[in-house]
Amino acid sequence: MSYTVPFNRPYLTGHELEYVSQAIQNGDLSGDGPFSQRCSQLLEERFQINKVLLTPSCTAALEISMLLLDLTEGDEVILPSFTFVSSANAIVLAGGKPVFVDVDPHTLNLDPAQIQQAITERTKAIMPVHYAGVGCEMGTIMELADAHQLTVVEDAAQALNASCNNQALGTIGNLGAFSFHQTKNYSCGEGGALCINDESLIERAEIIREKGTNRSQFLKGHVDKYTWVDRGSSYLPSELSAAFLFGQLGAIDVITDLRQQCFQRYLEQLQPLADQGRLQLPTIPEYCQSNYHLFHILLPTQDIRDALLKHLNSRGIHAVFHYVPLHSSPAGIRLSGESVHLPVTDSISSRLLRLPIYPDLELELQHQVVTEISSFLNA
Ligand SMILES: *Cc1c(COP(=O)(O)O)cnc(C)c1O
């Protein structure tokens, strides 16, 4: 089905083709070429990151992060159930056990009080997910991690160019992972990056990313041949992806500004419905600077959410919902049993609706979305 108002439309800055064509002329399209280096350097300088390694996806960056923890059977990593599957899969693939906790009903982010309760002798790490580009309470989370000697890996898939107490998201924990998937704010179709904030993890992360070899040290002249030294996999994106991405990263603030305008318009135009108690609008805490990755509303019940979703889709408006909570998914139950109860997660995931948002969403089309929501909820 084609929609009059798509859910998402990839935004082009106009430089992508030129850079991709330069990459082709350079003649070497494998990983870590000039464009990969330019992307990493841009992110490192702009967000004060010790080391950025581009990856084929955020999923891959999370996998490297979990491999770095050397989990053994029964080791636990705390994360929200209200997240994308990749957060949990990375833990499972590395041999650990995901421990799902509930989220705050306003930000839909990990609730620090719940994290504290979930910490056991087997806990090795915390994986906060910055939902919608709004930061988790990183100050409290880092204190908890310090007190219990836990590693913090930020799933910052949605959070590039957002911050918490003026610290860029993805750069606060020991490690952070960004996504450049087509649906994210800055994209190269499929792509990601690993931020290594903890310097002591850099060398081994490079090895895991290079198929378990010390090729990076070899290229820097630190060793005279390269060989298999650890476990690892192939976690480098091609120069074609990096060249496209470099075009996107050049307009990082332009993209955020356009999304912010879109976000503000929804807030203003939907406020009357919120005042009448017909829906709940997203909240951004004072200490957070969002990147306006997504716009969601919460309806009073699942029935109303489902009916509104159907109504919007029938009018050519592509609204969607997510996430099906991981703790009650078939794989989640197999791993953690049926005894995990996360009432906030269950409640919000059954009532949440995401509206179309992208940098060049036309005023008229956005107004149409608001009008359809109003007429449905006021009927
Ligand atoms: C998009 C997303 C991912 C996965 O990103 P990919 O780049 O597609 O692997 C992981 N976690 C969250 C929270 C996401 O939104």
Q: Each residue of 97-143: pLDDT tens digit?
A: 999 999 999 999 999 999 999 999 999 999 999 999 999 999 999 99
Cβ pair 366, 297 in contact under 8 A: no
Q: Which of 249, 265, 294 delimits the end of a domain?
A: 249
The parent domain of residue 185 ranges over: 16-249
| Averaged pLDDT for residues 182-200 | 98
Residue 6: inside a domain, yes or no?
A: no
Ligand 1 center from residue 170 Cα (angstroms): 13
Which residue, by CA, sits nearest to atom 14 of ligand 1? 157
pTM for this one? 0.97
- Report whether residue 55 contacts ligand 1, using a CB cutoff of 6 Å: no
Output the CA 195–ligand 1 centroid distance in Å: 15
For residues 351 and 278, give the distance between their C-alpha atoms in angstroms, rounded to a whole number: 12
Give the number of the atom of ligand 1 that is nearest the alpha carbon of residue 61: 9
Clarify whether residues 126 and 271 are in a common domain.
Answer: no
- Assess whether 49 and 128 both reside in one domain: yes
224 CA distance to ligand 1 centroid (A)? 37
Do 215 and 97 share a structural domain? yes
> What spacing in Å lies between the alpha carbon of 187 and ligand 1's midpoint?
12
Instruction: Give residue 204's pLDDT.
Output: 98
Give the mean pLDDT of the chain. 97
Do 238 and 288 belong to one domain?
Answer: no
What's the pLDDT at 365? 98
Instruction: Give the 3-state secondary structure of residue 154.
Output: strand
User: Closest residue (by CA) to atom 2 of ligand 1?
Assistant: 157
Mean pLDDT is lowest, of 113-122, 169-178, 214-223, for: 214-223
132: exposed, middle or buried (C-beta count within 10 Å: 0-12, 13-18, 19+)?
A: buried
Q: Do 97 and 155 lie in a common domain? A: yes
Identify whether 99 is part of a domain.
yes
Last residue of a domain, one of 205, 224, 249: 249
Measured in Å, residue 78 CA sits from the centre of ligand 1 at 17
* CB-CB contact of 200 with 65 (8 Å): no
Cα 171 to its chain centre, rounded Å, is: 13
With cut-offs at 50, 70 and 90, classify the pLDDT of residue 379: confident
Same domain, 122 and 227: yes
Q: Are strands 97-101 and 192-196 parallel, antiparallel or unpaired?
A: unpaired
Is the CB–ligand 1 distance for residue 294 below 6 Å?
Answer: no
Whether 206 and 306 share a structural domain:
no
154 and 44 within one domain: yes
Across 209-326, the runs of DSSP E, i.e. the strands, are 288-289, 295-298
Number of domains in the chain: 2
Mean pLDDT of 342-366: 98
Proportion of the chain above pLDDT 70, given as a percent:
100
Closest ligand 1 atom, residue 59 Cα: 9
Please report the pLDDT score of residue 337 as a whole number. Answer: 81
Q: Where are the beta strands (DSSP E) in 156-238?
A: 163-164, 167-168, 175-179, 192-196
| pLDDT > 90 fraction of the chain, expressed in percent and rounded | 97
Q: What is the CATH number of the domain that holds 181?
A: 3.40.640.10
Q: Ligand 1 pocket, 336 CB below 6 A?
A: no
Ligand 1 in reach of 86 Cβ (< 6 A): yes
Q: Which residues contact 7 (CB under 8 A, 6 or more apart)?
A: 318, 319, 320, 354, 356
Distances in Å between the Cα of 182 and the Cα atoms of 191, 241, 245, 293 are: 9, 12, 11, 12
Q: How far, in Å, from the CA of 353 to the mean position of ligand 1?
A: 18
Taking CA atoms only, the protein residue closest to ligand 1 atom 5 is 58
Ligand 1 close to Cβ of residue 179 (< 6 A): yes
Last residue of a domain, one of 249, 270, 300: 249
- Looking at the fold, whether 214 and 226 belong to one and the same domain comes out as yes
**Would you state the structure tokens that stand for residue 300, as one six-digit string?**
């009073």
Ligand 1 midpoint to CA 59 (Å): 6
Rounded CA gap, 302 and 351, in Å?
5
Any ligand 1 atom below 6 A from CB of 109: no
Q: Note whether residue 271 is domain-resident.
A: yes
pLDDT in tens, 270-317: 999 999 999 999 999 999 999 999 999 999 999 999 999 999 999 999
C-beta 154 within 6 A of ligand 1: no
4 within domain boundaries: no
Q: Is the pLDDT of residue 1 over 80?
A: no
* Ligand 1 touching residue 157 (CB < 6 A): yes
**The pLDDT of residue 336:** 82
User: Which residue from 83, 158, 183 has its CB within 8 A of the most atoms of ligand 1, so it is best to mutate?
Assistant: 158
**283 and 186 in one domain?**
no
- Is 345's C-beta closer than 6 angstroms to any atom of ligand 1? no
83-102 average pLDDT score: 97
245/343 same-domain check: no
Residues 6+ apart with CB under 8 A from 279: 270, 273, 297, 298, 299, 300, 373, 377
User: Ligand 1 pocket: which of 54, 57, 58, 195 to mutate (most atoms <8 Å of CB)?
Assistant: 58
Q: Note whether 24 and 118 are same-domain residues.
A: yes
**Ligand 1 pocket check for 366: Cβ under 6 Å:** no
Closest ligand 1 atom number to CA of residue 192: 7
